[in-house]
């Protein structure tokens, strides 16, 4: 009987030691991840973009880059960020107005435009714009939702958001692999639809991503 009790006590002690060692190891792993991905992306809804898209982008950025993400208070687009025609908003004015020491991803459903040097068009409609490197980028759903299902539109929204955050991290447009989401979309959706939710090895290496 005494032998049985000793055996049981021994087994229980072994179990306790194993469990505490395991959770210590886990804690260390979690701490390492936090140190590695200490960046916080603040997602700011600009105008009346649907909350479900904002939540979706938050979840996809966390999943792709492993950064922390917080959704900030909604802000209203004001006249000072309108383009000259007053018909759409100027993306560079949006970046300039809201740029700060925080990492910002502005999400909007309004039409945004920017000067296109290659085509020499002053107000060329775009899907996103971000500083490279920098802390602020903007993504619009206006040009990605036309004539497609919501599923398709959300796929595009995911790729463009990861692309603009990629510019903030220092990535230039990719010419290494057509499937890499850092390719220049030139304001059209054809290239975006061709891409995978993926960064090529070259782009991953530049930002130190495994």
Which residues make up the interface to Zn ion (CB under 5 A)? Answer: 174, 176, 180, 182, 200, 203
At its nearest, how many Å lie between Zn ion and the CB of residue 82?
A: 23
Q: Which is nearer to Zn ion, 112 or 174 (CB)?
A: 174
At its nearest, how many Å lie between Zn ion and the CB of residue 140?
A: 13
Q: Which is nearer to Zn ion, 165 or 174 (CB)?
A: 174
Whole-number Å distance between alpha carbons of 41 and 105: 7
Q: Which is nearer to Zn ion, 49 or 126 (CB)?
A: 126
**Radius of gyration of the chain, Cα coordinates, nearest whole angstrom:** 23
At its nearest, how many Å lie between Zn ion and the CB of residue 137?
A: 9
Closest to 127 measured CA to CA, from 78, 93, 161, 87: 161
Q: Which is nearer to Zn ion, 200 or 209 (CB)?
A: 200
At its nearest, how many Å lie between Zn ion and the CB of residue 34?
A: 27
Closest to 105 measured CA to CA, from 79, 71, 132: 71
């Amino acid at each position: 009987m005494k032998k049985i009790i000793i055996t049981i006590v021994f087994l229980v002690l072994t179990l306790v030691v194993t469990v505490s060692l395991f959770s210590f190891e886990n804690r260390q792993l979690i701490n390492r991840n936090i140190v590695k991905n200490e960046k916080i992306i603040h997602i700011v809804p600009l105008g009346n973009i649907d909350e479900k898209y904002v939540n979706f982008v938050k979840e996809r950025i966390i999943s792709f880059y492993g950064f922390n993400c917080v959704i900030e208070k909604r802000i209203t687009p004001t006249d000072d960020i309108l383009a000259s025609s007053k018909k759409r908003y100027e993306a560079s004015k949006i970046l300039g107005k809201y740029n700060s020491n925080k990492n910002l991803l502005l999400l909007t459903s309004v039409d945004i435009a920017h000067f296109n040097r290659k085509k020499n068009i002053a107000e060329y409609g775009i899907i996103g714009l971000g500083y490279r490197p920098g802390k602020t980028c903007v993504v619009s759903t206006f040009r990605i939702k036309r004539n497609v299902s919501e599923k398709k539109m959300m796929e595009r929204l995911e790729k463009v958001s990861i692309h603009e955050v990629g510019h903030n991290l220092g990535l230039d447009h990719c010419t290494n692999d057509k499937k890499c989401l850092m390719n220049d979309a030139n304001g059209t959706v054809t290239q975006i639809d061709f891409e995978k939710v993926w960064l090529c090895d070259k782009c991953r290496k530049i930002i130190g991503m495994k």
